[in-house]
Amino acid sequence: MNGEQMQFKDLKRQYGKLKESIDRKIQEVVSQAHFISGPQVRELEETLAAYVGVKHCVSCANGTDAITIALLAHGVGAGDAVFVPDFTFFSSGECPALIGATPIFVDVETDTFNLSPSALEKAVKGELEKGELKPKAVVAVDLFGLPADYDKIRAVCSKYGLLLLEDGAQGFGGKYHGQRACSLGDISTTSFFPAKPLGCYGDGGAIFTDDDYIAALCRSLAVHGKNQDDKYDNVRLGMNSRLDTLQAGILLVKFAAFAEYELVDINKIASLYTEQLKDVSGLMVPSVPEGCGSSWAQFTLLLSEDTDRVAVQAYLKERGVPTMVYYTKPMHKQGAFAGTRSAVADCPNTELLCGRVLCLPIHPYLTEEETMLVADALKEALERCRI
Residues of this chain that interact with ligand PLP (CB under 6 A) are: 62-64, 88-89, 91-92, 141, 167, 169-170, 191, 193, 203, 205
Give the pairing type, strands 163-167 and 187-191.
Answer: parallel
**Which one, 89 or 315, has the nearer CB to ligand PLP?**
89
Q: Using the 8-state DSSP alphabet, how is residue 5 labeled? A: P
- At its nearest, how many Å lie between ligand PLP and the CB of residue 9? 13
Q: Using the 8-state DSSP alphabet, how is residue 143 labeled? A: G
**Which one, 38 or 85, has the nearer CB to ligand PLP?**
85
Q: Is the dihedral of CA 112, 270, 91, 238 positive or negative?
A: negative
| Relative orientation angle of helices 368-384 and 263-277, to the nearest 10 degrees | 30
DSSP for 266-291, please give it.
Answer: HHHHHHHHHHHHTT-TTEEPPP--TT
**Which one, 14 or 190, has the nearer CB to ligand PLP?**
190
- At its nearest, how many Å lie between ligand PLP and the CB of residue 248? 15
Phi then psi for 197, rounded to 5 degrees? -50, -45
Q: For 292, how many CA atoms within 13 A lie in the half-sphere containing its CB?
A: 22
Report the Cα–Cα distance between both ends of the chain, in Å, rounded: 33
- At its nearest, how many Å lie between ligand PLP and the CB of residue 364? 18
Q: Is the dihedral of CA 141, 8, 312, 328 positive or negative?
A: negative
- At its nearest, how many Å lie between ligand PLP and the CB of residue 61? 8
- At its nearest, how many Å lie between ligand PLP and the CB of residue 306? 30
Q: Which helix (H) or strand (E) holds 382?
A: helix 368-384
**Which one, 145 or 293, has the nearer CB to ligand PLP?**
145
**Which one, 91 or 371, has the nearer CB to ligand PLP?**
91
Distance, in Å, from the CA atom of 282 to the CA atom of 274, rounded to the nearest integer, reads 14
The distance from CA 195 to its chain's CA centroid, rounded to whole angstroms, is 10
- At its nearest, how many Å lie between ligand PLP and the CB of residue 385? 28
Closest residue to ligand PLP, based on beta-carbon distance: 63
Distance, in Å, from the CA atom of 327 to the CA atom of 323, rounded to the nearest integer, reads 12
- At its nearest, how many Å lie between ligand PLP and the CB of residue 56? 19
**Which one, 14 or 64, has the nearer CB to ligand PLP?**
64
**Which one, 90 or 160, has the nearer CB to ligand PLP?**
90
**Which one, 88 or 323, has the nearer CB to ligand PLP?**
88
